[in-house]
Amino acid sequence: SDFFEALFGSMGGAPGGQRAHRTWTQTPRRGQDIEHEVEITLEEAYRGAVRVLSIDGKRLEASIPPGVRTGSRVRLRGQGGAGSAGAASGDLFLRIAVQEHPRFERRGNDLHTEVPVDLYTALLGGTVSVGGLGGELRLSIPALTQNGRSFRLRGRGMPALRNPEQHGDLYARVRVVLPQSLTDRERGLVEQLADLQAAPAGAE
């Protein structure tokens, strides 16, 4: 008995006949990152936006900066999955999707749009209104402007994501709109113009 007591006491026991206790500690582990898609309009991408989100039961208010585009990711630090054993939480990444716009096409930070111009303004020149994302603009149309001609309005495009004070350009493409109908007098004047165009140079 002394032999077995000495043998097993040294292997599994502790001094004084008490069993030793081993303490297990959990390794700290950072929380998981989470990705969430957010859809915004082109106007919101131009001026920035705020979205109220509910992620895993948490209510979050997220600020989306100006200049984002489809595929941009906005990082919210510490708003992802919870960490374990006192470790930091993960991050929440908002993946941006910008909706298509009925009037503007975005190419990088430049915007392209079509501007209807009546026949008389295209022939004689004048000014037309262009609705930009930053407000109404006035565009000067020189006389004899051809259909499809583009005009560049510097600094009227989208803001740069990391430098919102810097903007791309707005390109306005002219679409000459013919009148829907003509009065007899208007038709007579157009016919006179056609005759003048058809007459040989120097003829009266």
Q: What is the pLDDT of residue 196?
A: 83
Give the tens place of pLDDT for each residue, 43-100.
Answer: 999 999 999 998 888 899 999 999 999 999 999 998 888 888 878 889 999 999 999 9
Which one has a higher pLDDT value, 39 or 80?
Answer: 39
* First vs last C-alpha separation in the chain: 141
Give the predicted TM-score (pTM) of the model. 0.77
The predicted model gives 30-42 an average pLDDT of: 93
Least confident of 31-35, 67-71, 101-105: 31-35
Give the tens place of pLDDT for each residue, 147-195.
Answer: 999 999 999 999 999 999 999 999 999 999 998 888 999 899 888 888 8
Q: What is the pLDDT of residue 26?
A: 79
Q: What is the pLDDT of residue 204?
A: 54
Query: Is beta strand 126-132 parallel, antiparallel or unpaired with respect to 135-141?
Result: antiparallel
Which one has a higher pLDDT value, 203 or 137?
Answer: 137
Query: How far is CA 1 from its chain centroid?
Result: 82
- Here the tokens at position 99 are 């909706």
Buried b (16+ CB within 10 A) or exposed e, 139-175: bebeeebeeeeebebeebbbbeeeeeeebbbbbbebe
Q: How far apart are CA 75 and CA 117, in angstroms?
A: 44
Which one has a higher pLDDT value, 15 or 44?
Answer: 44
The 8 Å CB, 24+ separation contacts for 77-80 are 79/34, 79/55, 80/31, 80/32, 80/33, 80/34
Q: What is the pLDDT of residue 194?
A: 85
Is 185 exposed, middle or buried, given 0-12, 13-18 or 19+ CB atoms closer than 10 A? exposed
Helix (H, G, I), strand (E, B) or coil at 3: helix
Contacts of 71 (CB under 8 A, 6+ apart): 95, 96
Q: What is the pLDDT of residue 58?
A: 86
Which one has a higher pLDDT value, 16 or 153?
Answer: 153
- Here the tokens at position 178 are 């013919």
